[in-house]
């Protein structure tokens, strides 16, 4: 199978929305009037972001999901994406399920594959995703004129929320890499979160005009909330007593009466929740006056959200327990070039 | 140096044109009224597209040049690009010249770096480039409504042109891989073509409304012209007597009185010109009535063009010599998944 047959067979599809899709030097998109283009790109490397033996159907899903998650964090509606793929070999038994997983998620979001590149090389998946957000008035002087959710809009006094559950992907990674034991039933739940994250696109759209700032959680909550704090020039206080309950599998342990020796220490559970990475949930802020609107956005998008803290004027990120007492922050987020 | 310091130090720049550049979950672009977005993506893999020891300044240039070449082939004006980069290590002595080579070419084309991704992994450079082309009337029923140059517009009787020179990049590759000897002076000329191709952006813009079809020559003239033929449902006849003179270094051999034992056989010279790859010139077609307009576009963009053949109604690609006699086509273009 040659390069062009590979593209034709697995990655060429009708593109009713695009002016021109796969097969020319460029793809062409026509933005609707009053809309801005939102762009994000993510590169997934074998052994770094996923095990080479990962189920290719799940990998196809995840490769697009992590990009859609960036659109979600901006409140952008997905339009299209390009796929650049370096493959050790043109293996149809891998490409078929990979493309199916990828395109099933694309179809679910009306996101058209409009172009790409394939080459021989160490397995590497680079997707660039395109979405639309309405032009809008700048929230404050110096801010861009857009309705997109930005990292820079958090204000002192704003509530801090996260969507869904956190930390289970990291828990699965720890188990799959042999650093801990998990019962199969728990591992399967956690592994699903690692390998098939759900991009919170509907929530992002519902939060436009409601949230003051947002980011997606890819490197861990503390790190990604840290980006919001840095871009907004503010600090925050987080309640670890609430955060620890965001680990979906922790609740599962309790419900399923898993033997004590499998239970997580609170410290490990918090490490997973606060700095696990690979969650692809949203962390966002909103003024207290928007609490009802946040709940309405959560309901409209069928996405649970949890209020876990507050934005402070004082810089820095403070952790407190359920009684307001300080908790030492010994948690570190993921950095690709640090140990 | 961590991931965020790396991005801040080498890849964060002012983006006066973009609504929002590097540093949020998405970048934001506002298209001008009446403009369509042209998108292309190319992935460069170490040892496949370049030697790992390639001068990083030249590599930065080339990584963007091959993408700008796709915009040129569509007649699109460059606006912006994203950069996804997998690096074995965060090495400032490599990143600094790489980013300088990349950004110097970006600045020359007013093309803003608006976002990206960095990760640890085998060296891989994936750029997605964005340009603008005016909305236009469809050339024929079923064609998209755009002024972009497409692969699908060639008509029987059209002239076939190429820009610049062809085959020298391949010649350099043959020499650098030890399959042939070249005098240093010749190798330096050829190597420049391999490592620092010039994207024909100005020519592409000048050919809007003049050329009937266009593609960029990345895999070799025969293969890329073949895409035009396939997309347009036509055939072609090419004059190898003209084509052989497109090898810049062949002329250099003659002029510089290089000893006979270095001279290329006509067969090897033609192989380089017709199927060498890595040229990043344009191949395009235009009605004979547009010959003066093609020359004007060439002059306006200071880009030489050569008429090398004609589009035929009969499918297939025929080679003829300077006297019109058939030449056997034993030349094969590059395919990433074939030997």
Query: Which among A29, A39, A204 is the top mutation candidate for probing chain B, defined by the most B β-carbons within 10 Å of its own β-carbon?
Result: A39
Q: Could you tell me the sign of the dihedral formed by the alpha carbons of A35, A22, B44, A96, in that order?
A: positive
Rounded distance between C-alpha atoms, residue A313 and residue A302, angstroms? 32
Report the range of poorest mean pLDDT among A303-307, B3-7, B334-338: B334-338
Write down all domains in chain A, each with its CATH number in brackets: 3-134 (3.30.1330.10), 159-327 (3.90.650.10)
Residues of A in contact with B84 (CB under 8 A): 41-43, 126, 128
Among B26, B45, B215, beta carbon nearest to A39? B26
Tokens of B93: 């002595």
Q: How far is B155 from chain A (nearest CA, A)?
A: 17
Report the range of poorest mean pLDDT among A9-18, A95-104, B117-126: A9-18
| Whether pTM exceeds 0.90 | yes
B215 at A interface, C-beta within 8 A: yes
Residues of A in contact with B79 (CB under 8 A): none
Query: Which among B6, B38, B41, B229 is the top mutation candidate for probing chain A, defined by the most A β-carbons within 10 Å of its own β-carbon?
Result: B41
Q: Count other C-beta atoms under 10 Å from residue A325's C-beta.
A: 10
Burial label for B320, CB within 10 Å (0-12, 13-18, 19+), is middle
Residues of B in contact with A6 (CB under 8 A): 337
What's the pLDDT band for B26 if we cut at 50, 70, 90? very high
| Predicted confidence (pLDDT) at residue B335 exceeds the cutoff of 80 | no
Tokens of B72: 């040129």
Between chains, do B39 and A25 touch, taking CB under 8 Å as contact?
A: no
Among A45, A144, A231, beta carbon nearest to B86? A45
Higher pLDDT, A328 or A333: A328
A134: three-class secondary structure by DSSP = strand
Among B25, B30, B126, beta carbon nearest to A216? B25
Residues 23-82 of chain B whose Cβ lies under 8 A from any Cβ of chain A: 23-31, 36-43, 45-49, 70-71, 73-74, 76, 82
Among B23, B90, B145, beta carbon nearest to A231? B23
Percent over 90 (pLDDT), chain A: 68
Report the range of poorest mean pLDDT among A177-181, A291-295, B289-293: A177-181
Residues 83-142 of chain A whose Cβ lies under 8 A from any Cβ of chain B: 83-87, 89-90, 114-122, 124, 126, 128, 130-131, 133, 135
Between chains, do A231 and B29 touch, taking CB under 8 Å as contact?
A: no
Q: What is chain A's percent helix, strand, coil content, to nearest 5? A: 35, 25, 35
Tokens of B191: 């190597």
What's the pLDDT band for B267 if we cut at 50, 70, 90? confident
Please tell me the predicted confidence (pLDDT) of residue B197. Answer: 93
Tell me: the pLDDT tens digits for B311-333? 999 999 999 998 999 998 888 76
Higher pLDDT, B119 or B331: B119
State mean pLDDT over B146-172. 95
Give me the DSSP letters along A24-77.
BSSEEE-PPTTEEEEEEEEEEEBTTTB-TTS-HHHHHHHHHHHHHHHHHHHTPE
| Predicted confidence (pLDDT) at residue B256 exceeds the cutoff of 80 | no
How distant, in Å, are the alpha carbons of A89, A98, A108, A150 from that of A314?
53, 47, 42, 20
First to last CA, chain B: 40
**Phi and psi (nearest 5°) for A319?**
-105, 135
A287: three-class secondary structure by DSSP = coil
- Nearest to B308, CA basis, from B294, B296, B299: B294
Tell me: the pLDDT tens digits for B10-25? 888 888 889 998 888 8
- What is the predicted ipTM? 0.91
Buried b (16+ CB within 10 A) or exposed e, A127-166: bbbbbbbbbbeebeeeebebbbbbbbbbbeebbbbbbbbb
Please tell me the predicted confidence (pLDDT) of residue B339. Answer: 43
Question: Do B273 and B243 meet the contact criterion of CB atoms below 8 Å apart?
Answer: yes
Rounded distance between C-alpha atoms, residue B56 and residue A60, angstroms? 32
Chain A residue whose CA is closest to B115: A40
| Predicted confidence (pLDDT) at residue A339 exceeds the cutoff of 50 | no
| Predicted confidence (pLDDT) at residue B198 exceeds the cutoff of 60 | yes
Tell me: the pLDDT tens digits for A183-194? 888 888 899 999
């Amino acid at each position: 199978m040659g390069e062009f047959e590979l593209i034709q067979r697995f990655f060429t599809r009708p593109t009713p929305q695009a002016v021109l899709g796969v097969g020319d030097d460029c793809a062409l998109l026509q933005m609707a009037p009053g809309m801005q283009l939102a762009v994000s790109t993510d590169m997934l490397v074998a052994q770094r972001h996923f095990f080479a033996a990962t189920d290719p159907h799940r990998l196809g899903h995840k490769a697009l999901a992590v990009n859609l998650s960036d659109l979600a964090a901006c409140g952008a509606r997905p339009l299209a994406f390009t796929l650049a793929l370096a493959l050790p070999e043109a293996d149809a038994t891998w490409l078929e399920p990979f493309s199916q997983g990828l395109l099933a998620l694309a179809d679910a979001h009306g996101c058209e594959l409009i172009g790409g590149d394939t080459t021989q090389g160490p397995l590497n998946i680079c997707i660039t995703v395109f979405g639309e957000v309405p032009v809008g008035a700048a929230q404050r002087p110096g801010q861009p004129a857009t309705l997109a959710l930005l990292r820079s809009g958090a204000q002192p006094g704003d509530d801090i929320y996260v969507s869904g559950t956190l930390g289970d992907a990291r828990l699965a990674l720890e188990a799959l890499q042999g650093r801990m034991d998990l019962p199969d039933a728990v591992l399967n739940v956690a592994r699903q979160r690692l390998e098939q994250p759900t991009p919170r696109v509907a929530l992002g759209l519902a939060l436009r005009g409601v949230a003051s700032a947002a980011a997606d959680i890819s490197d861990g909550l503390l790190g990604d909330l840290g980006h919001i704090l840095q871009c907004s020039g503010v600090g925050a206080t987080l309640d670890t007593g609430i955060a620890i309950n965001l680990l979906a599998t922790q609740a599962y342990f309790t419900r399923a009466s898993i033997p004590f020796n499998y239970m997580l220490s609170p410290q490990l559970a918090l490490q997973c929740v606060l700095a696990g990475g690979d969650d692809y949930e949203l962390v966002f802020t909103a003024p207290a006056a928007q609490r009802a609107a946040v709940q309405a956005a959560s309901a409209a998008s069928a996405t649970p959200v949890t209020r876990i803290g507050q934005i402070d004027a004082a810089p820095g990120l403070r952790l407190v327990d359920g009684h307001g007492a300080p908790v030492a922050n010994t948690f570190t987020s993921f950095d690709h070039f640090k140990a």
